[in-house]
Amino acid sequence: MRTQLICLTVLAMGLSPSLAAGQATTRQCGPVEGVGPACLLARKQMPQLPDGKVYWHIDRFPSKELAERAGLPTSTVVEAFKSTWLFTLAGAGWKSASGEHVSKIGPLPITPATDYTAEYLRSIFTPGTTAPLHVHSGPEAFYAVTGDTCLETPGGMQTGRGPGNSLIIRAGPPMLLMAIGKVTRQGFALILHDSGQSPTTLIQTWRPAGLCARQLSADQAGAD
């Protein structure tokens, strides 16, 4: 029944049924990493964030134990894509004492709150896969290990190309995330929100202009 409702929602938004596979979800990630919906890698509640501008730091480690020793109270350790990752919310100048620094994303457009929760998602999308239309109560940041990213909102379109690309969106606007290009997109997302609010709300009140879909078509038509 749930699958039928999702497909009906996707059709009502003018998207093809194949796009329903990228549905947003809070289901826990399992050990098998296959193409399909986003899943929840980790959730961390924090009574406060660092002072000043906050960035999402991504570091890679050879083991979970080493990553845990290198973290801060605002750090989270996850295992995905055959690697161990340390996700840390900190100022621009923070650096892990060890590990491989992979990316610094930000500053994050944080919404004031008395208590914050960071939700980290993992997803594997083939080109053309998208999540349903939704909004967030806090900023969302995306990082792609592989593949290309397209994010459409009422304000236009953002794209990221190649391994390591990242995008950020503030709280509030409706959005459509799509994997574009010709390579499967493996990625992470961070939703940093007020702990007293739901992180994600599905919507049907906005219809995308098809900017990401047109970019996908152009990519597919382009030369290898």
User: In angstroms, what CA-CA distances link 217 with 43, 66, 75, 145, 146?
Assistant: 35, 43, 39, 22, 19
| β pairing state of 36-46 and 116-125 | antiparallel
User: What pLDDT score was predicted for residue 223?
Assistant: 62
- Classify residue 62: in a domain, yes or no: no
- Classify residue 13: in a domain, yes or no: yes
- Classify residue 98: in a domain, yes or no: no
State the residue range of the domain holding 40. Answer: 9-46+111-221
- Classify residue 165: in a domain, yes or no: yes
Cis peptide before 37 (omega within 30 of 0): no
pLDDT by 10s per residue, the chain, length 224 = 333 323 323 333 344 433 333 344 568 999 999 998 899 999 999 998 999 999 999 999 999 999 999 999 999 999 999 999 999 999 999 999 999 999 999 999 998 899 999 999 999 999 999 988 999 999 999 999 999 999 999 999 999 999 999 999 999 999 999 999 999 999 999 999 999 999 999 999 999 999 999 999 999 998 65
- Classify residue 154: in a domain, yes or no: yes
Interatomic CA distance for residues 27 and 15, integer angstroms: 23
User: What pLDDT score was predicted for residue 75?
Assistant: 98
- Classify residue 72: in a domain, yes or no: no
Residue 130's CATH number: 2.60.120.10
Q: Where are the alpha helices (DSSP H) in the chain?
A: 2-12, 64-70, 211-221
Interatomic CA distance for residues 159 and 147, integer angstroms: 11
- Classify residue 32: in a domain, yes or no: yes
pTM of the model: 0.88
Instruction: Count CB neighbours of 179 within 10 A.
Output: 27
User: In angstroms, what CA-CA distances link 178 with 20, 55, 216?
Assistant: 11, 24, 9
Report how many domains make up the chain: 1
CB 84 within 8 A of CB 77: yes
User: What pLDDT score was predicted for residue 224?
Assistant: 59
Return the sign of the alpha-carbon dihedral for residues 164, 165, 168, 173: negative
